[in-house]
């Protein structure tokens, strides 16, 4: 069935398994086009692996495309839930593929030039209308339980201490200090060392936990424990939240345009004891335009959640990577850019009014529950496999950050070790709440950050996992 030459000096099944294993190993490159080029390469290589000579191949264009896709799904005919998917245009393909193979008994050298993957996706929309639990209310209850966990744990400890005290003294303690003086509780140990709550013994009726002025949520409701019935008093308003019915939700995800463009060259050199490869990417671009997501409860439109991403761009240029198929690859040089513009998250009113979130938004100078990031811009240049430069910019209505510096790399694993050199961080707080928070931090830690005018200047050096920070 097979030509005898295929089994010369080797076992065909073993050779195929070895080649397949090496092909799978290259996934660590995390480059989408690599798997395709390896597949193209394998079409020309394994069958004729034992012949001497040269094999060339080319393919002008290949791919997949369709227009006006519509898909709908009803998970259960007894429920009104429905999901729909619409795509106006989809294209995915490769072009200008050229392959050259030089084969002999000792080695196999392949060179592949390829443009792609080239992706075009236009007007994608995913609609879901479902009847489900109100996740906003569930999140509010979860946050309430976290806020009350410390005082409730403290009250439970107080109740145990009171029972022991009554056994020893045949009476109820007059105050919390009485329990502390007689070593029934330790006010310097958790949960009592959280001074955001104070405790009042109103025995034999109840025990009360009140929030203190240092509590970030000073207006938190008091917590009552009925000492005679041995249970916490339930707030009727909170109790009603546990029994809310399901809500009709409308989820909508939309993408106006997604596109990619890559131009690459792949060289592979295979010998019996070593398999080397190198990848050169002249240019690459991945871009998303006008992406949005909304989650709307139909019974309360003010609780709509909205996420908008007008633009996301990832670009690479003159990227050079090489290595062996059994080890992690090494990046020798290249430029990379990542950019996001006008990214916005609009929180539902139900969550925006939660005490922790409300305090955070007020600190950032946000009054409409809408968090905006005007710009995230990251530029990295790999000068060689050991050194590089970086520039990072963050711009928001409440804060601006600019980072510039050099770094060195040790590419000896899946995550390279990075060491920062001469890295300058400039922080320009805009919102009054941010400025106040920084001043309070300086007072609390008895430190003063270095400044040029209103801009905070920080210098960072050393390993990224444990850097040394100068500037205070």
Q: What value does the mean pLDDT take over residues 432-450?
A: 89
**351 φ/ψ angles, rounded to the nearest 5 degrees:** -90, -35
**Range 233-261 average pLDDT:** 87
68, 318 Cβ separation under 8 angstroms: no
Name the more confident of 245 and 340.
340
**Separation CA 57–CA 377 (nearest Å):** 41
Per-residue pLDDT of 180-194, as tens digits, reads: 999 999 999 999 988
Asked if residue 221 has pLDDT above 60, the reply is yes
Higher pLDDT, 267 or 227: 227
Q: To the nearest 5 percent, what fractions of the chain are helix, strand and coil?
A: 25, 50, 25
- Is the pLDDT score of 160 beyond 90? yes
Residues 213-227, mean pLDDT to the nearest whole number:
81
> What is the Cα Rg of the chain in Å?
32
- Say which residue, 34 or 451, is predicted with more confidence: 451
Domain ranges of the chain: 52-131+247-430, 135-241
Amino acid 12: pLDDT: 36
The predicted-structure confidence for 25-52, as pLDDT tens digits, reads as follows 333 333 344 444 445 445 445 444 455 6
Residue 323, phi-psi category: left (phi > 0), alpha (psi -120 to 50), beta (remainder): left
Q: Output 244 or 384, whichever has higher pLDDT.
A: 384
The Cα–Cα gap between 379 and 392 comes to 6
Q: At what angle do helices 32-44 and 12-25 cross, to 10 degrees?
A: 160
Confidence of residue 336 (pLDDT cuts 50, 70, 90): very high
What is the Cα–Cα distance from 150 to 197, expressed in whole angstroms? 9
Average pLDDT, the chain: 83
Q: For residue 323, give the nearest of 258, 369, 277, 286 by alpha carbon.
A: 277
Q: What's the pTM value of the predicted model, to 2 decimals?
A: 0.75
The pLDDT tens digits for 343-376 are 999 999 888 888 888 888 888 888 889 999 999 9
């Amino acid at each position: 069935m097979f030509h005898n030459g295929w089994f010369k000096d080797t076992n065909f099944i073993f050779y195929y398994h070895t080649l397949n294993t090496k092909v799978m190993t290259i996934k660590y490159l995390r480059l989408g086009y690599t798997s395709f080029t390896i597949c193209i390469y394998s079409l020309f290589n394994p069958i004729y692996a034992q012949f001497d000579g040269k094999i060339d191949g080319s393919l002008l264009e290949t791919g997949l495309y369709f227009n006006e896709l519509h898909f709908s799904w009803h998970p259960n005919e007894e429920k009104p839930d429905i999901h729909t998917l619409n795509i106006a245009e989809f294209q995915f393909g490769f072009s200008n593929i050229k392959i050259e193979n030089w084969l002999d008994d000792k080695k196999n050298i392949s060179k592949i030039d390829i443009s792609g993957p080239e992706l075009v996706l236009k007007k994608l929309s995913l609609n879901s209308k479902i009847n489900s639990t109100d996740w906003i209310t569930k999140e509010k209850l979860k946050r309430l339980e976290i806020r009350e966990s410390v005082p409730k744990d403290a009250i439970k400890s107080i109740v145990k201490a009171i029972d022991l005290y009554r056994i020893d003294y045949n009476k109820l303690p007059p105050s919390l200090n009485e329990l502390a003086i007689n070593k029934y509780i330790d006010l310097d140990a958790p949960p009592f060392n959280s001074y955001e709550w104070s405790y009042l013994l109103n025995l034999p009726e109840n025990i009360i936990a009140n929030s203190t002025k240092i509590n970030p949520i000073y207006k938190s409701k008091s917590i009552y424990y009925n000492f005679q019935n041995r249970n916490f008093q339930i707030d009727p308003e909170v109790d009603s939240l546990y029994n809310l019915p399901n809500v009709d939700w409308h989820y909508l995800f939309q993408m106006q345009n997604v596109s990619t463009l890559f131009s690459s060259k792949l060289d592979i050199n295979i010998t019996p004891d070593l398999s080397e490869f190198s990848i050169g990417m002249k240019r690459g671009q991945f871009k998303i335009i006008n992406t949005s997501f909304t989650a709307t409860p139909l019974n309360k439109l003010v609780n709509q959640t909205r996420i908008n991403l007008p633009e996301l761009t990832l670009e690479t240029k003159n990227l050079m990577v090489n290595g062996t198929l059994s080890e992690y690859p090494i990046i020798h040089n290249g430029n990379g850019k990542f950019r996001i513009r006008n990214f916005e998250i609009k929180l539902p009113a139900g969550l925006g009014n939660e005490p922790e979130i409300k305090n955070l938004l007020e600190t950032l100078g946000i009054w409409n529950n809408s968090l905006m990031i005007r710009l995230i811009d990251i530029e990295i240049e790999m000068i060689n496999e050991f050194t590089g430069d970086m520039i990072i910019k963050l711009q928001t209505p409440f804060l601006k950050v600019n980072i510039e510096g050099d770094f060195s790399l040790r590419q000896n694993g899946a995550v390279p070790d990075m060491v920062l050199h001469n890295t300058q961080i400039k922080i320009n707080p805009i919102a009054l709440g941010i400025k106040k928070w920084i001043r309070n931090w300086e007072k609390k830690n008895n430190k003063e950050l270095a400044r040029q005018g209103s801009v905070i200047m920080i210098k960072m050096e050393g390993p990224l996992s444990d850097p040394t920070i100068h500037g205070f």
